[in-house]
Amino acid sequence: MKVRGVMTADVVVVHPDASVNLVARLMASRGISGVPVVEDGKVVGIISELDLIVRNTRLEPPAFFALLDGRIPLETPGHYRRRLQHMLGTLARDVMTAKVVTIGPEEELESLAELMVKRRVNPVPVVEDDRLVGIVSRSDIVSMMARDLESPA
């Protein structure tokens, strides 16, 4: 089977200047594992769930010192709020993976699966003539496999 047969053609994309907050909300509301970053019709990066998790783990909750039954903050609430606002104001270009692994629509599905495993990428944009034509995630492949198992031989 070709990649074209399993790819999603209606791809959700973001611009490099989109906020990370918007990207996270978009991925959560659409139930997608990643989003290509596109500028002038070309894929310039990709943001995966892992990119967002790594970015957010840099934001640590406010530190407290426990004393008897109380907690004494070691930093002001304003400091934490400023760090949170800074993180939410970060742009897609700041967290995206710029070296995007892509595949062509006429490549074999086995090649895509091998690429995903070896390069540890998910999802993978499908590109033809330097233009984004689709995207494939691991869940797309698993869904296709489940459909194939359900259909009579």
What superfamily would CATH give domain 3-150? CBS-domain (3.10.580.10)
Q: What span, in angstroms and rounded, lies between the C-alpha atoms of 66 and 85?
A: 26
Q: Could you read off the pLDDT of 100-116 as tens digits, one per residue?
A: 999 999 999 999 999 99
Task: List CB contacts of 2: < 8 A, sequence separation 6 or more.
Answer: 105, 106, 107, 108, 109
CB atoms within 10 A of CB 100: 17
Q: Is residue 36 over pLDDT 90?
A: yes
* 10 vs 134: CA distance, rounded Å: 7
Q: What is the pLDDT of residue 53?
A: 78
Asked if residue 35 has pLDDT above 90, the reply is yes
Strands (E), 18-63: 34-39, 42-48
* Cα angle: 137, vertex 29, 16; to 5 degrees: 70
**Strand, coil or helix: what is 70?**
strand
What is the residue extent of each domain of the chain? 3-150
Q: What are phi and psi of 65, to 5 degrees?
A: -110, 120
pLDDT in tens, 44-89: 999 999 888 777 655 555 555 555 566 655 566 666 666 666 666 7
